[in-house]
Structure 1
Amino acid sequence: MTVYSGRFAGRTAIIAGGASGLGRAVAARIIAEGGTAALWDLNEAALAEAKAATGAVHVEALDIADADAVAQAVDASAKAMGRVDILVVSAGITGATAQVKDYPIDSWQRVMDINLNGLFYCNRAVIPHMLENGYGRIVNVSSVAGKEGNPNASAYSASKAGVIGFTKSLGKELATKGVIANCVTPATFESPILKQLPESQVDYMRSKIPMGRLGEVDENAAMICFMASEECSFTTASTFDTSGGRTTF
């Protein structure tokens, strides 16, 4: 990992899904580059471990599908850090692996509640803080599945497509306010979320990547940290691909 010394000096970040995987890697990098971070996650034990490992100043254990809990967490994190400059929403679940005709309704609803509704709640609650300061960087984590769709993953694909559309709308709303909103669409990368999938599904997704391998967490964290930095100043309402050549648009 290349560290850009001081890139996030004086900046504060909320990382939803920050206890493990991509969220934790992003938090660690922001802190290493001079920033301050608050981590959110449903897993309290993992949060405590991530706090100790990264040096995060604040943690919140919550389900982002609960709008009231998200609003309270934003206020608590803002109080702990003094302000909120950056939001990265990487929390998400895969849901069931099944054809649409057999797809469990409860799994569909849970995927939407976390991947799309929860992401909306996080964005909605943070934006007033950023507008008050006249500065903000929002990075919403989508997926290549949101562009191309993966078979037997209809809920996940639909939710991630929703993240793209939502972020494009939001970025245009905020374009003159000093707040930039973009999303990233990774292809499958090495992450704890892969444990939610059968190996056959992972093999399928690997086979679709022209580079012939899965991505790495640090490769995605590097892209997100650019998007979360002051360097990303004239690109908003956009999608950044980290797909190993998979995406075609």
Structure 2
Amino acid sequence: MNEPFWANRFQDRVVLVTGAAGGLGSAAVERLRKEGATVIATDLHAPVLTSTAYGEVTSLGLDVTNPEQWKDLVGTALERHGRLDGMLMCHGAQGPEADVEDVAYQDWQRTLRINLDSCFLGLHAVIPTMKNQAHGRIAILSSISGREGNASMTAYSTSKAGVIALVKAVAKETAAQGVCINAIAPSMFQTPLLEHLSPERNAQLLSRVPAGRIGEPSEFAALAAWLLSDECSYTTGQVLDLSGGRYAGS
């Protein structure tokens, strides 16, 4: 799907992206670069980025569950660029696909550590800089399962619901300082994560999407780019639906 983009929308802006090697993260990195951003692209291992036609990019390894690595990353960003305008958190783990009584406690803990604790660590690391700048834009990947819950995905659903609560709480702390923080709640998207679910499970989840199709990463990137832009100046603490109509709640 070929989406339009706005050249120079992110000129002189520095944006950090986690999970940049994944399907959604890599699409967002390319969109931000096309629109002129200086991108710091991170993943557990430094992502391999093939296109060099657009804005500046730095590729770094980051364990999102490690607070010291977060501290070092922000320090590196400020040392190289002098500012940090945006952060898009696209990392995550699917977690166990089993009924709650069959979920091992260590798998529960690991899923929450990767999906939820890491977002706290990221906010803890970048918010002081953005408050000091009196400007910042943050978007965090949640999930439709964080709003509705998915059976046999208790750890994942709980972690993504926690992301929503975290976003709403911190957005209220930072709104007066010009920092906007929002969550994105996708349903099914064409990413490698679908490969970790059984064909039957994929078919079941797709049957709940009124649009009748799987979302494209470019559609995620378009919404993320707006949330990270200066145009998003009076929207904060929100969960933006990206589910093909699956979620119809308030």
TM-score (norm 1): 0.95
In the TM superposition, residue 68 of structure 1 has moved relative to its aligned partner by 1.3
> What are the equivalent positions in structure 2 for 1:6-17 lying under 5 Å apart?
6-17=8-19
Q: 1:232 to 1:97 in 2, by over 3 A?
A: same
Q: 1:213 to 1:8 in 2, by over 3 A?
A: same
> 2:216 — aligned with what?
216
Identity %: 37
CA distance in structure 1 between the aligned counterparts of 2:81 and 2:122, rounded to whole angstroms: 17
Runs (4+) off by over 6 Å: none
Residue 189 (structure 1) aligned with residue 214 (structure 2): no
> 1:19 — aligned with what?
21
> 2:7 — aligned with what?
5
In the TM superposition, residue 53 of structure 1 has moved relative to its aligned partner by 7.8
CA distance in structure 1 between the aligned counterparts of 2:101 and 2:113, rounded to whole angstroms: 21
> 2:238 — aligned with what?
238
> 1:85 — aligned with what?
85
The number of aligned residues is 247
Q: 1:97 to 1:245 in 2, by over 3 A?
A: same
**Structure 1, residues 63-87: CA drift from partner, whole Å, max 9, x if none?**
1011111111121123223210000
> 1:102 — aligned with what?
102
Q: Is the 8 A contact 2:36 2:55 kept in 1?
A: no
> 1:133 — aligned with what?
133
CA distance in structure 1 between the aligned counterparts of 2:50 and 2:25, rounded to whole angstroms: 10
Please tell me the root mean square deviation across aligned C-alpha atoms, in Å: 1.5
What letter is aligned with 2:114? Answer: I
| Residue range with higher mean Cα deviation, 141-150 or 105-114 | 105-114
**Structure 1, residues 100-130: CA drift from partner, whole Å, max 9, x if none?**
0001222111110110001111111011111
CA distance in structure 1 between the aligned counterparts of 2:137 and 2:73, rounded to whole angstroms: 18
TM-score (norm 2): 0.94
Residue 40 (structure 1) aligned with residue 9 (structure 2): no
Q: In structure 1, list runs of 5 or more residues that go unmatched.
A: none
In the TM superposition, residue 48 of structure 1 has moved relative to its aligned partner by 2.9
Q: 1:53 to 1:194 in 2, by over 3 A?
A: farther
Q: 1:56 to 1:41 in 2, by over 3 A?
A: farther
In the TM superposition, residue 50 of structure 1 has moved relative to its aligned partner by 5.3
CA distance in structure 1 between the aligned counterparts of 2:55 and 2:27, rounded to whole angstroms: 12
* Equivalent position SS for 1:101: helix
CA distance in structure 2 between the aligned counterparts of 1:118 and 1:204, rounded to whole angstroms: 30
In the TM superposition, residue 225 of structure 1 has moved relative to its aligned partner by 0.7
What letter is aligned with 2:241? Answer: D
Q: Is the 8 A contact 1:27 1:54 kept in 2?
A: no
